[in-house]
Structure 1
């Protein structure tokens, strides 16, 4: 049974958010109640991976957390000689991810690794996933990471990128934030929880505008980039090499 996220329910000194053991315990509840459409995003990523995976290739889940995307990709991919490489820099996440994966049988091997995704060598890849991961990478390292992914993708390979993004101007951004906070209230978060979580995460997660993501993909060399899901200030896109 999933534990309920009550990390910020009581007034407390606020430290920068991290994916520590406390968060791991409540992560499924936290993500469902905080990210609109998360279930749809994860299941569709599995279907897209099944569609674009190539024989004899690597599939990367960068920032795999508890392995939700890895599991759905493994269920949907039916190509020969594929392996999934799941990477995260949170040791508690990786340990729990291994337990989750052991609960399901599959012919597709998964290599679960603890490490820094900016240092991960991407090679012979047909699918690479960054599911709400890039936003936690320092801004100055994002271009190099995406270029590295592009170089490591086979022709016809895809990058699946989900992000929380900023509105194109201050008024649009405040509108999106208000809509998201209403979503969290509707899912049972209090004003204190919303406020304290926002404070904890603002130094750790630095969202960019959607247009900046699209422009960067084009400049890196992806032949096409398409937003396939958006709700408030959350989106998911596919970039094809």
Structure 2
């Protein structure tokens, strides 16, 4: 079945980020996720508080590396800043390396669950945690918290589950209209929805805040929202400093 941008998924199969998806990913995701590019830009503004000379920054689930390129450009006048992109799909990493024009960005084929993180000041999970098995999400958040230097930040963007049934119906309908307005057909919208069943498993707002708090973060704030799409910042502070 067609899911848009010439991406096809076999009937009964889940959506995949391989099999040619990487070559059209950027255009597909910008038309599929509200405020996708705006979220990237907003993260670069937030990063001014955390990325300094000698900082290390991770993008877990970096896909084609677009966000890291924007960050590298933003901080190009700082000394010895390292940007590390992690993604489990080799096609995504190959596409990222092909696009990359910055010597201080490195890309690695690995997963958020398995990668070993160095000490760092800024970690991003931009619509990545939702694809990780629920049983492993707390472990990933714990690892991120442990890797951050004091004062460092974790940026988490996720599609969430709306728990109130009637509001959920309204929000889901609005999202379908958003995709149709971006030139997806009804069949493509439904095909993508079916292909994500059992593959993208959203948390609730309470679930995500609990993950962050249980990892050790005490400073947590929602920073962006469009319907069920939500972004958070979580800052590692000293001794629960307020």
Q: Shared topology, TM-score over 0.5?
A: yes
Question: How far 1:14 sits from its partner (Å)?
Answer: 3.9
Query: In structure 2, do the counterparts of structure 1 residues 222 and 54 end up closer, same or farther at CA, with 3 Å as the change threshold?
Result: farther
Q: Distance in 2 between matches of 1:157 and 1:93?
A: 27
Unaligned ranges ≥5, structure 2: 237-242
1:159 corresponds to which residue? 154
Question: How far 1:54 sits from its partner (Å)?
Answer: 3.5
| C-alpha contact (below 8 Å) 2:15/2:196 kept by paired residues | yes
2:96 corresponds to which residue? 97
Question: How far 1:124 sits from its partner (Å)?
Answer: 1.2
1:74 to 72, 83, 104: 72
1:19 to 17, 20, 44: 17
Kindly tell me the number of residue pairs found equivalent between the two proteins.
232
2:38 corresponds to which residue? 40
Q: Could you tell which deviates more after superposition, 21-30 or 36-45?
A: 21-30
- Deviating above 4 A after TM superposition, structure 1's stretches of 4 or more consecutive aligned residues are none
**SS at 1:146 equivalent:** helix
Q: Distance in 2 between matches of 1:17 and 1:136?
A: 11
Superposed CA deviations along residues 130-153 of structure 1, whole A, max 9, x for unmatched, are 001000000000000000000000
Q: Distance in 1 between matches of 2:10 and 2:56?
A: 44
1:188 corresponds to which residue? 183
**SS at 2:49 equivalent:** helix
| C-alpha contact (below 8 Å) 1:14/1:196 kept by paired residues | no
- The correspondence of residues 1-241 of structure 1 with structure 2, limited to 5 A, is 5-7=5-7, 13-77=11-75, 78-101=77-100, 104=101, 106=102, 109-241=104-236
**SS at 1:52 equivalent:** coil
Q: Distance in 2 between matches of 1:235 and 1:162?
A: 6
**SS at 1:195 equivalent:** helix
Question: How far 1:12 sits from its partner (Å)?
Answer: 5.8
Question: How far 1:112 sits from its partner (Å)?
Answer: 0.7
Question: How far 1:60 sits from its partner (Å)?
Answer: 0.4
Backbone CA RMSD of aligned residues: 1.7
Q: Distance in 1 between matches of 2:160 and 2:33?
A: 12
Q: TM-score, normalised by structure 2?
A: 0.90
| C-alpha contact (below 8 Å) 1:88/1:113 kept by paired residues | yes
Unaligned ranges ≥5, structure 1: none
**SS at 1:48 equivalent:** helix
Query: In structure 2, do the counterparts of structure 1 residues 117 and 215 end up closer, same or farther at CA, with 3 Å as the change threshold?
Result: closer
